[in-house]
Chains A and B, each alone.
Chain A
Amino acid sequence: MTKAGTTGTTLVAADAPAPAVRLPRRRGIELSLIVVAVLLSVYGYCAVGLAKNGTVPPGAAGYGAGLGVLALVAHLAVRLRAPCADPLLLPIGVLLNGLGLVLIYRLDLETPGDHAAPAQLVWSTLGVALFIVVVLLLRDHRVLQRYSYVCVVAALALLTLPIFFPAVNGARIWIRIAGFSIQPGEFAKVLLAVFFAAYLAANRSALAYTGRRVLGIDRLQLPTGRVLGPIVAIWLLSVGVLILERDLGTSLLFFGLFVVLLYVATGRTGWIALGLLLAALGAVAVGQLEPHVHSRVEDWQHPFASIDAGQGPNQLAQSLFAFAAGGMFGTGLGLGHSILIGFAAKSDFILATAGEELGLAGLSAIFLLYGLLVERGYRAGLALRDPFGRLLAVGLASILALQVFVIAGGVTGLIPLTGMAMPFLAQGGSSVVTNWAMVALLIRVSDRSRSRLGVPKVEEADRTTAYDDRAEAAR
């Protein structure tokens, strides 16, 4: 317990001298940043129209007004119920979502038969509505701890559902009802993050400090099966289901999320080693057994093999061409040819359009926006006292980081390609709604952490032992 104890003490040391003054809440900054984000999106929308048709798109004002009203209502909800929340989270969400709408609209112009932007706008509205609902109704994130088992049951149910629906492009990850298609894996990731955080927070002492030693060495200590069993079972189940559904990106995401949270909760490096080992074994096994995966790895190693074979460039090669064409400053919105990538240009490969038309400068800006979002999530986690909140914040931030890395690394040829949606940017209803829910949770957590920073409560400051964590977790 010494480690946790030290952590607690440092926090007290930081908290104790703090005077009981109100930390600046920065809601005005949030509002100005939202205005900037909306203006940037409208500017991008106009730039696309000017580049493609030579005129400002007729819907520019309406689009700007719609996005502005959505963002404003979300801001008011934050002002009302989470006044101390981190002022960067909401503007970043608005900017990424707005930019995503611009890119999808831009790609729509070249695919006359398939217009995705209106649907994406509807889903974004739903997402912001969910954001508002969460911010308004969820007064304290710790409430979620009580529903951790509901969450895991729901997550597993959502994950298994698509098995009963036909596969699309080789993966069974969609549910299609009445023309709408939903990707339940997207929702499942938040629910699973809640469950992992709750379970690990409740059992972290047992995981960290009990169990048998292996080979008599302290560092190699396996937790008892009673504690470790359920969570490993659930993790295996979810990853197994995903492999069955051939949703490699999401299974990789769950795997990474699990390892990161286990490491943060127990503080044992062995988990990372074990995680890497399992990942390597799993990757080799899946790569050998699954032709789908095998071909992805082949494509990654030899992106131009299909060109040499005379079959023309594949999607990855087209994506690399698009990034290269963008160069340092890009071709400008609407002036690239990333539509050559083909059917997934608006979803999996939308980053290629950003890379081609906004260049390395724009792409780096987008990466840094994601980086900032992740960093604010981690910061909120660090400033919290309760282990559940900390693990939840770390979990949500890690999901974002891992997802951005896996998809961006895939389309830029850094790692093998796994189909996943770029958070906020890509076309996809489930994804946008889930991401807004995640930002809502981060807002809630950051509000809690920042208000505690500003107004230290005596009774909380006093009970800063490791037992306190468990007491909070058990509550």
Chain B
Amino acid sequence: MTRHIRHAAFFCALLLIALLVNATRLQVFEASGYDDNVANRRATFARYGQPRGDILVGREPVTGSHDTGEHLRYERTYANGPMYAPVTGYASQVYGTSLLEHTEDGVLSGTDPLLSPFPLGKGLARGRNPGGDVVTTLHRGAQEAAYEGLAGRKGAVAAIEPATGRILALVSAPSYDPSVLSGNGSSVTRSWKSLNGDADKPMLNRAVRKTYPPGSTFKVVTAAAALDSGVVQDLDEPTDSPDPYRLPGTRTSLTNESEGCEDVPLRKAFEWSCNTVFAKLGVRVGAKRMAATAAAFGFNKADLRIPFSVAESTFDPKVDRAQLALSSIGQYNTRATPLQMAMVAAAVANGGKVRSPYLVERTTRASGGTVSTAGSRPTRQAMHPSTSVRLKELMADAVREGTGTNAWIPGVTVGGKTGTAQHGLGNSGTPYAWFVSWAQGDRDLEPKVAVAVVVEDADADRGEISGGGDAAPIARAVMEAVLKSPSQDGS
């Protein structure tokens, strides 16, 4: 009997070993597969089990976290949600993340391995690190000025620091409060549906995700191409341009808003925004060189990230001469995001160099230590430096005595260009009012800010829509806000 008891005991030992081996298989070797299963809610619980890091403007967070005490514990909150929505995006427990909340999610949610004090010790500790913060390049005053300037209207504002490419303001109107999407209740679903169904598209980031015909503001690019290519050598030499200008190969005549554009020199044509002069200049420069200059400013590039992606601005190089004439005054297939037009103004202000724009100054650990910084950004020469000097002159003249006088700030050098872009079938849509500009205080060594403003105001009387009337005052407010405050690096 003893022998058989031993056999039975041995059998029980085998059962125990089977359990131990199976548990090891399950908990060690196959665990990650189970952890990653879509139906396993633990990853979601872990994600919302700790407060999310914050997005900062200056030193102030514009986001927060609210402890709900539920399984998905922390919900995102937003201070001034609608004003910063085009930058922060939303962080929803149901609908995921967008914009900075999306691109910086690793840092904010604490999963970025760089947040760990011991990046190599990850295997041992299964817990995640506390969420880190994202410090933006935004200028609070500029953002507020842009948001208030657009209040009640549809449009967008983008402002850049020309020397660095730091984005100082990014506003889209109408906007929405991302906090209504934070949680997971039925109200979130309702908000999502109504926001997506809204005809005004409040969740569309017009500053970077929508392209508009740039209209006359594109004349800055055309002028740069004409000067760089030598088509125009003297700003004050009369150009051989008829008024009206018949588009080459067609019977269509192009006219001007203002009188006396016939044969005017480039300086006057820029000041008064003469369509005929710039259409003919574009044809004389040629599609190839026009496209090359536009590309140097950043057009036709689909991969721009700030760090979220920016819609591609386009200048169509495959056009006939009539189309080229229209393209050169910012119509036909030419389209640009407000951010792209701010880059155009910034290039002029920055000696012809385009700095790749960016929105994240640095990321930090919850304890404050720096995880990463923006670092040096790529630079591209959009035009010859001497061309930029002459363009600055042209833009400054346009503000001093041309169409852009509404942007004039006493004691400051302001350069600008208005635009009124027609769109829709047969130009039936309400025109878009544009204004691009830069400003340099008297004591500044270089321009401090470049702005692009677009107002797509559906309610205004068609005749009153003009870059100078609607868009320039907003640009002025933004520029004043930046110039007023002392140099602030990340403050």
Question: A and B bound?
Answer: yes
Contacts of A397 in B (CB 8 A): 9, 12
Q: Give every chain A residue within 8 A of B199 (Cβ-Cβ).
A: none
- CB contacts (< 8 Å) of B34 on chain A: these are 320-321, 323-325
Q: A382-B5, A414-B18 are in contact. Are A374 and B12 (CB under 8 A)?
A: yes
- Cα(A245)–Cα(B26), bound, Å: 32
Cross-chain contact A264 with B39 (CB below 8 angstroms): no
Contacts of B11 in A (CB 8 A): 260
Asked if A3 contacts B8 (CB within 8 A), the reply is no
CA–CA, A370 and B13, complex, Å: 11
A267 at the interface (CB under 8 A from B): yes
Q: Give the CA-CA distance A320 to B2 in the complex, in Å.
A: 39
Complex Cα spacing A225 to B209, Å: 89
In B348-403, the 8 Å CB interface with A consists of none
Question: Are A401 and B12 interface neighbours, CB within 8 A?
Answer: yes
Q: Cβ of A304 and Cβ of B42 under 8 Å apart?
A: no
Give the residue name and chain of the A residue nearest to B12 (CB): A401
A263 → chain B, closest Cβ, in Å? Answer: 6
Question: By the criterion CB–CB under 8 Å, are A327 and B3 in contact?
Answer: no
Mark out the residues of chain B between 1 and 51 whose CB falls within 8 Å of any chain A CB in the assembled complex: 1-9, 11-13, 15-16, 18-20, 22-24, 26-28, 30-35, 37-42, 45
Q: Which of B2, B23, B39 contacts A367 (CB 8 A)?
A: B23
Contact B13 A7 (CB under 8 A): no
Given A4-B1, A10-B2, A394-B5, residue A307 in contact with residue B37 (CB < 8 A):
yes
Evaluate contact between A327 and B39: CB separation under 8 angstroms: no
**Which residues from B are CB-within-8-Å of A375?**
9, 12
User: Is residue B126 within 8 Å, beta carbon to beta carbon, of the partner chain?
Assistant: yes
**Contact residues in A for B16 (Cβ distance below 8 Å):** 367-368, 370-371, 374, 401, 405
Task: List chain A residues, Cβ under 8 A from B4.
Answer: 263-264, 267
Cβ of A312 under 8 Å from chain B: yes
CB distance from B67 to the nearest CB of A (A): 13
Decide yes or no whether A340 CB sits under 8 A from chain B: yes
Contacts of A320 in B (CB 8 A): 26, 34
CB distance from B382 to the nearest CB of A (A): 53
Smallest distance from the beta carbon of B41 to chain A beta carbons, Å? Answer: 7
Contact, CB under 8 Å: A321 / B27: no
Q: Would you call A381 an interface residue if the criterion is a C-beta within 8 Å of the partner chain's C-beta atoms?
A: yes
A261-280 vs B, CB cutoff 8 Å, 1 = contact: the mask equals 00111010000000000000
Q: Is A238 an interface residue (CB 8 A)?
A: no
CA distance A367 to B26 in the complex (A): 15
Instruction: Indicate if the CB atoms of A394 and B8 lie closer than 8 Å.
Output: yes
In whole Å, how far is A374's beta carbon from the nearest beta carbon of chain B? Answer: 5
Closest CB in chain A relative to B277 CB, distance in Å: 64
**Chain B residues with CB under 8 A of A323:** 23, 26-27, 31, 34
Over the window 45-61 of chain B, the binary record of Cβ atoms lying under 8 Å from chain A Cβ atoms (1 yes, 0 no) is 10000000000000000
Interchain nearest-CB distance for B38 vs A (Å): 7
Stretch touching chain B among A98-106, A358-366, A426-434:
A358-366
Chain A neighbourhood of B32, CB < 8 A? 324
The interface residues of chain A lying within 8 Å CB-to-CB of B8 are 260, 263-264, 378, 394, 398
Q: Which of B19, B35, B126 contacts A405 (CB 8 A)?
A: B19
A355 within 8 Å of B (CB atoms): yes
Q: In the bound complex, what is the Cα–Cα distance between A229 and B237 (angstroms)?
A: 124
Q: Give bound CA distance, A329 to B38, whole Å.
A: 23
In angstroms, Cα B6 to Cα A409, docked, is 23
* Complex alpha-carbon distance, A359 and B7, angstroms: 31
Q: Given A304-B39, A382-B2 in contact, is the A326-B19 Cβ separation under 8 Å?
A: no
- CB atoms of B18 and A405 under 8 A apart: yes
- Chain A residues within 8 Å of B1, by CB: 3-4, 7, 264-265, 267, 387, 390
Residue of B nearest to A370 (CB): B16
Shortest C-beta distance, B367 to chain A (Å), equals 22
Q: Is the CB of A307 within 8 A of B39?
A: yes
The answer to whether A263 touches B7, judged by C-beta atoms less than 8 angstroms apart, is yes
Complex Cα spacing A378 to B6, Å: 8
- Using known A-B contacts A7-B3, A327-B28, A360-B28, determine if residue A307 contacts B42 with beta carbons closer than 8 Å: no
Q: Which residues of B contact A404 (CB under 8 A)?
A: 15, 19
User: Which residues on A sit within 8 Å (CB–CB) of B6?
Assistant: 382
Given known contacts A317-B39, A320-B34, is B5 in contact with A360 (CB within 8 Å)? no
A412 with B12, Cβ < 8 A, contacts A307-B39, A320-B34, A321-B42 known: no
Bound CA–CA A263/B3 (angstroms): 11
For A298-315 the 0/1 string (1 means CB < 8 A from B) is: 000000100100001100
Known A360-B23, A364-B23: A7·B2 in contact at CB below 8 Å:
yes
Q: Write the nearest CB–CB distance from B174 to chain A, whole angstroms.
A: 38
Asked if A413 is at the interface (CB within 8 A of a chain B CB), the reply is yes
Q: Are B22 and A409 touching (Cβ within 8 A)?
A: yes
Q: How far is the CA of A440 from the CA of B351 in the complex (A)?
A: 93
Q: Which residue of A lies closest to B11 (CB)?
A: A260
CB <8 Å contact, B42 and A325: yes
Q: What A residues does B12 contact at CB under 8 A?
A: 371, 374-375, 378, 397-398, 401
- Binary interface profile of A, 32-70, with partner B (CB < 8 Å = 1, else 0)? 000000000000000000000000000000000000000
Interface residue A79 (Cβ < 8 Å from any Cβ of B): no
Partner of B41, one of A10, A329, A337, A394: A337
- A465 within 8 A of partner (CB): no
Docked pose: A265 CA to B2 CA in angstroms: 10
How far does the Cβ of A283 sit from chain B's closest Cβ, in whole Å? 17
Docked complex Cα distance between A96 and B142 (Å): 66
Q: Are A328 and B37 in contact (CB under 8 A)?
A: no
Inter-subunit contact A324/B5 (CB<8 Å): no
In A238-291, the 8 Å CB interface with B consists of 260, 263-265, 267
CB-CB under 8 A for A355 and B18, given A7-B1, A263-B4: no
- Nearest CB to that of A397 among chain B residues? B12
B23 cross-chain contacts in A, Cβ below 8 A = 323, 355, 360, 363-364, 367, 412
Cα distance, A337 to B45, chains bound together (Å): 9
Q: Are A367's CB and B20's CB within 8 A?
A: yes
Docked complex: A197-240 residues within 8 A CB-CB of B: none
**Contacting pair A324 B18 (CB below 8 A):** no
Provide the residues of chain A in CB contact with B7, threshold 8 Å: 263-264
Instruction: Give chain B residues whose Cβ lies under 8 Å from the Cβ of A464.
Output: none
- Within the complex, which residue of A325, A364, A394, A409 is in contact with B18, where a contact is CB–CB below 8 Å? A409
> Does A324 lie within 8 Å of B13, measured CB to CB?
no
Measured between alpha carbons, how far is A260 from B12 in the docked complex, in Å? 10
Give Cα distance in the complex from A324 to B38, angstroms.
14
Given contacts A7-B3, A387-B1, A408-B19, contact A359 B38 (CB under 8 A): no
Q: Residue on B with the closest CB to A393?
A: B5
Bound-state Cα–Cα, A54 to B377, Å: 47
Q: How far is the CA of A364 from the CA of B19 in the complex (A)?
A: 9
Asked whether, in the complex, the Cβ of A390 is within 8 Å of the Cβ of B24, the reply is no
C-alpha spacing A405/B13, complex, angstroms: 11
Complex Cα–Cα for A324 and B27 (A): 5
- A265 to B1 Cα, complex, angstroms: 7
Contact call A304/B31, Cβ cutoff below 8 A: no
A331 on interface, CB distance cutoff 8 Å: yes
Cβ-closest chain B residue relative to A11: B2
With A and B bound together, what is the CA distance between A393 and B38 in angstroms? 47
Q: How far is the CA of A317 from the CA of B31 in the complex (A)?
A: 13
Q: What would 5 more interface pairs be, CB under 8 Å, given A7-B2, A263-B4, A337-B45?
A: A317-B39, A323-B23, A367-B19, A378-B5, A401-B15
Q: Interface of B with A (CB < 8 Å)? A: 1-9, 11-13, 15-16, 18-20, 22-24, 26-28, 30-35, 37-42, 45, 71, 126
- Could you give 22 example pairs across A and B, Cβ below 8 Å? A263-B4, A263-B7, A263-B8, A313-B40, A324-B26, A324-B31, A328-B28, A329-B126, A337-B45, A355-B23, A364-B23, A367-B20, A371-B16, A378-B8, A378-B12, A382-B5, A394-B5, A397-B9, A404-B19, A405-B16, A405-B18, A412-B19
The chain A residues found within 8 Å of chain B, CB to CB, are 3-4, 7, 10-11, 260, 263-265, 267, 304, 307, 312-313, 317, 320-321, 323-329, 331, 337, 340, 355, 359-360, 363-364, 367-368, 370-371, 374-375, 378, 381-382, 387, 390, 394, 397-398, 401-402, 404-405, 408-409, 412-414
Minimum-distance CB pairs A-B, first 3: A324-B34, A324-B31, A401-B12
